[in-house]
Every structure is written in C-alpha cells, then in structure tokens.
Amino acid sequence: MTAHVDPAAAFRAAVEAADVEAAVALFAEDCVFHSPVVHAPYTGREALRAILAAVMTVFEDFRYTAEYAGPDGHVLEFACRVGDRDLQGVDILRGGTGPDDPISELAVLVRPYSAATALRTRMAELPAGGAPA
C-alpha cells in the first residue's frame, strides 16, 4: 500500500525547499495562476514554472506562517521581504482535495500596497518580466 501525501502539504514542502519542479508537478497541465500584480491569469504548467522560479529569486526570508483547509482547497499564509519592504500574503490552492487530485488553481494575494508595488517592480526587472510572454 502506497502512502499518499496531501497535495497542499506537498506544495508547501516544495516551496519551502525552493524546489520549483516538485511544486509544479503537483498541478494539472491546464492549471491557472492568478497573480497579485497582473490582471490576466496565466494558464499552464510552463507559465507557473516561470513565475515560481522568478518569485523564489525575489522573495527574501520567505516562510509560511499559517495554513487553513476546507472542502474546496487550502490557504497557506506567508511572510517575506521584497527589498526593504515586509510583505504578508496568502497562497490560495484550489483542487488537490484528494491524494490523486492535482491542484488546479493558485491565486496569490499580498499586502501592503507598498510591498505589492515593490514586488511588481522587481518581477518586471527579471528577464521576460518574471513571467512567460
């Protein structure tokens, strides 16, 4: 009998280990990513891979501080810095409610506005603006 890992717990562990490939592997091929600083959503694993890799270079002292679960998904609260700004945010994961169910959606919300602005600026400075074209 094979033990199954909760997809949200596996995502948290992958992000904490800065393992982009392990994190992306937990998502459906047609997953959707909602950025805290870009209006239009990104679709697919390749877009998610590029964004997660970029964010892992921009966020400093990243740590999850709390987590919440419900029948429709999970919320992982985090704290970090972007330059000299303290940032607080949440990763909202939808899907992945069962061991063989991939995560279908990731929405990231951040505060305060000054930190979100710093995040937007730093992401735009990366090659391809921190995200796929």
For residue 1, being part of any structural domain is answered with no
State the pLDDT at residue 4. 60
For residue 120, being part of any structural domain is answered with yes
Range of the domain at 99: 7-127
Strands across the sheet with 73-82, in order? 42-43, 27-34, 103-111, 85-95, 73-82, 60-70
Task: Give which of 73, 81, 75 is closest to 55, Cα–Cα.
Answer: 81
Residue 87 pLDDT > 80, yes or no?
Answer: yes
For residue 78, being part of any structural domain is answered with yes
CATH number at residue 38: 3.10.450.50
Mean pLDDT score of the chain, rounded to an integer? 90
The answer to whether the beta carbons of residues 46 and 132 sit under 8 Å apart is yes
For residue 2, being part of any structural domain is answered with no
Task: Give which of 13, 12, 41 is closest to 105, Cα–Cα.
Answer: 41
State the pLDDT at residue 72. 87
What tokens were used for 40? Answer: 């239009």
State the pLDDT at residue 127. 73
DSSP string over 52-96: HHHHHHH-EEEEEEEEEEETTEEEEEEEEEETTEEEEEEEEEEE-
> Residue 100: which pLDDT band, with cuts at 50, 70 and 90?
confident
Q: 3-class SS at 27?
A: strand
For residue 133, being part of any structural domain is answered with no
pTM over 0.75: yes
